A and B are shown apart, each in its own frame.
Chain A
Amino acid sequence: MTVKVITVGEDILGANEEKARANKSRLDSRGVLTINIMSSPGAGKTSLILSTIKHMKEKVKIAVIEGDVASSMDADKINEMGIPVVQINTAGGCHLDANMVESALNGLPLEDTDLLFIENVGNLICPNAFVLGEDKRVMISSLPEGDDKPYKYPAMFADSDVVLLNKIDLQPHLDFNVDGFKKTVAGLNPDVIIFSVSCKTGVGMEAWFAWLESAVKGKKNR
């Protein structure tokens, strides 16, 4: 038999991207601002969501999709605050994909939601390669992780709209070069917005809330 070469030239993740576009138009039609939150484990994704809910829940209708390898600890905490939440357990998978998010959307009151947080699986290697249908990508990097992370995971930083430098209250105790970090991130991503915050003490959070509130308004008025 003769061997035939078939030119393909297609992105392996094309099917995911197509599904993400469908998720996005579903969320767009309801004016839901959707934020994909990515970071390493323990950087403060859930803390950020919880403190944002606490600050904004009277003004903004929030819903959450929680991605974790296992457990529902994070979703339980959000549920306790009276916020609609769907837990996705990836059973070992290291990222969320658009298909998982599509199913999770079915369990949320989208007609009654202004802001949707999607908390990705804690990982700096691949979540950025899987679009979900989000409007904005927010990455959290925290001081204890060290200031070399932009060099080690450049694609994550290059793909984020906002970088929150969390646990800034620990600065006196750590050798973390905040200015150097910001410069490296801005070098990889000139359009990025960087906020130095502490979800624990509340330092710097006002600027994040203001950015988010204006993004929610912008999406509603589209």
Chain B
Amino acid sequence: MHEFSITESMLSMALEKANEAKASKVIRINLVVGELSGVVGECVKFYFGFLSKDTIARGAELAFEIKPTQVRCHKCGNVFTPSDHNWACPECHEASIEIVSGRECYMESIEVE
């Protein structure tokens, strides 16, 4: 359900940027979304269709770049993708890590006419 509020914020951001550029139509919105962000692209597309229908973003394509989860080992600095049940470093087996990628949720750019 949080996709609804995310889509609302995303649409208003896109319209604001398009407006600033005096654009007449938004063609495409490029989004970067991490695996850990909990954002489901299909849901965003569904809500976007509904929310954008009376705006210049109607029919715009939503492009999602999905960032995989990556963590950095606190001990040896190794950056790796954790497996489902093992977040320990495959190099040094240290279990203390920090999430460096996978939580993204931002708008990279918009394409307008």
Query: From B95, which residue of chain A is reached at the shortest CB distance?
Result: A187
Chain B, interface size category, equals 35 or more
Query: From A92, which residue of chain B is reached at the shortest CB distance?
Result: B1
Majority DSSP secondary structure for residues of A touching B: mixed
Majority DSSP secondary structure for residues of B touching A: mixed
CB contact between A94 and one of B1, B31, B99 (< 8 Å): that residue: B1
List, in ascending order, chain B residues with CB within 8 A of A16's CB: 9
Q: Does B67 contact A (CB under 8 A)?
A: no
List, in ascending order, chain A residues with CB within 8 A of B74's CB: 190
Which B1-33 residues sit within 8 Å CB-CB of chain A? Answer: 1-2, 4-6, 9-10, 12-14, 17-18, 21, 23-25, 27, 31
Expressed in whole angstroms, the minimum distance between the Cβ of B113 and any Cβ of chain A is 4
Among the stretches A31-39, A150-158, A161-169, the one at the interface with B is: A150-158
Q: What count of chain A residues pass the 8 Å CB interface test?
A: 36
Q: Does B96 contact A (CB under 8 A)?
A: yes
Q: Contact flags (1/0) for A128-153 with B, using CB distance below 8 Å? A: 01100000000000000000100100
For the complex, what is the distance from the CA of A190 to the CA of B10, rounded to whole Å? 33
Q: Does B42 contact A (CB under 8 A)?
A: no
For the complex, what is the distance from the CA of A92 to the CA of B87, rounded to whole Å? 33
Given contacts A129-B37, A183-B95, A184-B95, contact A8 B110 (CB under 8 A): yes
List, in ascending order, chain B residues with CB within 8 A of A95's CB: 2
Given A6-B112, A8-B108, A190-B96, 7 additional A-B pairs, CB 8 A: A5-B109, A8-B109, A9-B106, A12-B31, A94-B2, A129-B2, A129-B105
**B residues lining the A interface (CB < 8 Å):** 1-2, 4-6, 9-10, 12-14, 17-18, 21, 23-25, 27, 31, 36-38, 69, 74, 84-85, 87-88, 95-99, 103, 105-113
